[in-house]
């Protein structure tokens, strides 16, 4: 098992190194793209549930597994770039919702298209069967990693 574990370690390190140089996010950093995607996704969920078309910072903190001050700093950065705006809740003014601006939507869509072009290239290189296998295996790896770090 030691030899196989060593090969797995090297394969994962090579994957991480390769992804550092791969275009994900287009003009946005990977972190910024993740944040904007999450804001859009959670905003749409809230809107469908009859709520505000925005997301509160604590939801972002929980979903991204980062501290609330880190989320505040990231939202401040996005707000300075006019990609998001903050809106006070109507029912509870203590809740501040983060929403994408039209510029944020447009920027996210451009980044998403650039990322999808990169993903299409990977699918072309791997082929459909190996891509499906990779998706399945990477999901299993992610789940195993999460299970290992669950509080007991």
Which domains does the chain carry? Answer: 25-148 (1.10.10.10)
Strands 55-56 and 96-100: antiparallel
| 27 pLDDT tier (thresholds 50, 70, 90) | confident
CB 60 within 8 A of CB 38: yes
How much is the mean pLDDT over the chain? 89
**Calpha distance 6→28 (Å, rounded):** 34
Strand partners, 88: 96
Task: Please give the Cα distance from 39 to 91 (Å, whole number).
Answer: 20
Q: Is the pLDDT of residue 4 over 80?
A: yes
Dist. CA 60–CA 68, nearest whole Å? 8
Summarize pLDDT for 77-98 with one digit per residue, the tens: 999 999 999 988 777 667 889 9
Q: CA-to-CA distance for 5 and 87, rounded, in angstroms?
A: 49
Quote the pLDDT of residue 92.
Answer: 67
Q: What is the pLDDT of residues 94-143, one digit of tens each?
A: 788 999 999 999 999 999 998 899 899 999 999 999 999 999 999 999 99
User: How far apart (Å, rounded) are the C-alpha atoms in residues 8 and 140?
Assistant: 14
């Amino acid at each position: 098992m030691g030899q196989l574990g060593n090969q797995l370690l090297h394969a994962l390190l090579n994957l991480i190194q390769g992804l550092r140089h791969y275009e994900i996010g287009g003009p946005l950093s990977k972190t910024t793209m993740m944040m904007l995607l999450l804001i859009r996704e959670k905003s749409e969920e809230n809107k469908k549930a009859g709520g505000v078309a925005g997301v509160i910072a604590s939801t972002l903190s929980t979903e991204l597994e980062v501290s609330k001050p880190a989320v505040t700093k990231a939202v401040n950065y996005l707000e300075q770039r006019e990609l998001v705006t903050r809106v006070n809740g109507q029912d509870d003014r203590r809740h501040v919702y983060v929403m994408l601006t039209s510029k944020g939507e447009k920027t996210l869509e451009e980044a998403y298209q650039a990322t999808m072009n990169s993903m299409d290239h990977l699918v072309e290189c791997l082929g459909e069967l190996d891509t499906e296998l990779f998706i399945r295996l990477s999901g299993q790896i992610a789940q195993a990693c999460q299970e290992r770090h669950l509080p007991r």
